[in-house]
Amino acid sequence: MKQKLKLGAVLSVFEPGEILENFEKTKVFIQKAAKAQCDLLVFPELNLTGYVTGKTVCKTAVQSDFYLIKELEFLSLDYRISFLCGFAEKKEGKVFASHGFFSNGKLKGVYRKIQPGPPELSHLTPGNDFPVFDFLGWKFGIQLCFDAHFPEISTIMAKKGAELLIMPHASPRGTPGEKFESWKRHLLARAYDNGVYVIPVNQSGLNKNNLYFPGVSFLVSPSGKVEDVCLEDKESIAYFKADKLKIHEVKSHRMRYFFQYRRGKFYKENL
């Protein structure tokens, strides 16, 4: 088990449909993070295929055996780094907004967006699973952008043992500061209510479709406090440290760890 995790969050724009270009950019960030001895690198939503709304996303979608997915597996082995990478995924005739966990030369698992946003509902199929991944003695869950507005997703992942919730976004418009203030309203609550770390990361910059993404990433502690923040309009990697001790401090305190007292069955019966 690793007591402290070094997490990297990639703040960058990725062009819609330019999959090979996005792959090369992803590779450069992986190389930089590996050199910085990052444990887990997080890319923003749909970094490999690029973020688009409407049916265009169906044209960019790839299958999990796509050759560049295989190349990403090789990169995780070659550079001895684990990372989370997003792509529009084609599976059994449906298209999902997906995020893959790459580690030790393998695609260890895929999270599929459970709550597509209003502009995405006509073409993205919602996912139905709440995977929680094991990594260096930690457990983490992934949520994509609009997912974070639904507290039930965080509750379910916490119930499955998640200690860290990673939230890649492709959220346009506003300044980095405005986006930070907006996200704080709900993301601090996700950490505080469940006694978990939360780390969101957004695409950053102006893409070829003239869609601007304000660069923002930050780390929220299990007690619901912002520990560190990065607001960038330039391409960069923000590094954060998550410490198991802070999770233990919350979970061992009878008045700070609320999750243990949930009357889950009672709430379910009354929803």
What torsion, rounded to 10 degrees, do the Cα atoms 14, 15, 19, 20 define? -80
Average confidence (pLDDT) over 226-253 = 95
Give dist(CA 266, CA 271) in Å, integer. 9
Spell out the SS3 assignment of the chain: CCCEEEEEEEECCCCCCCHHHHHHHHHHHHHHHHHCCCCEEECCCCCCCCCCCCCHHHHHCECCCCHHHHHHHHHHHHCCCEEEEEEEEEECCEEEEEEEEEECCEEEEEEECCCCCHHHCCCCCCCCCCCEEEECCEEEEECCHHHHHCHHHHHHHHHCCCCEEEEEECCCCCCHHHHHHHHHHHHHHHHHHHCCEEEEEECCEECCCCCEECCEEEEECCCCCEEEEEECCCCEEEEEEEEHHHHHHHHCCCCCCHHHHCCHHHHHHHC
pLDDT in the model for residue 271: 85
pLDDT in the model for residue 82: 98
Average confidence (pLDDT) over 78-101 = 96
- Identify the band that residue 1 occupies on the pLDDT scale cut at 50, 70 and 90: confident
Q: Which amino acid is at 147?
A: D
- Identify the band that residue 241 occupies on the pLDDT scale cut at 50, 70 and 90: very high
Percent over 70 (pLDDT), the chain: 100
pLDDT in the model for residue 254: 86
pLDDT in the model for residue 88: 95
pLDDT in the model for residue 77: 97
Average pLDDT of the residues of the chain: 95
| Rounded alpha-carbon distances, angstroms, from residue 268 to 64, 152, 192, 264 | 35, 11, 21, 6
Region of poorest pLDDT, from 24-33, 36-45, 119-128, 221-230:
119-128
Q: Burial of 266 by CB count in 10 Å (0-12 exposed, 13-18 middle, 19+ buried)?
A: exposed
Give dist(CA 54, CA 34) in Å, integer. 35
Cβ atoms of 167 and 147 within 8 Å: the answer is: yes
pLDDT in the model for residue 179: 98
Average confidence (pLDDT) over 216-237 = 96
pLDDT in the model for residue 56: 79
- Domains of the chain, each with CATH number or no CATH: 4-259 (3.60.110.10)
Average confidence (pLDDT) over 223-228 = 97
pLDDT single digits (tens) 169-193: 999 999 999 999 999 999 999 999 9
Percent over 90 (pLDDT), the chain: 88
pLDDT in the model for residue 45: 98
Give dist(CA 200, CA 222) in Å, integer. 14
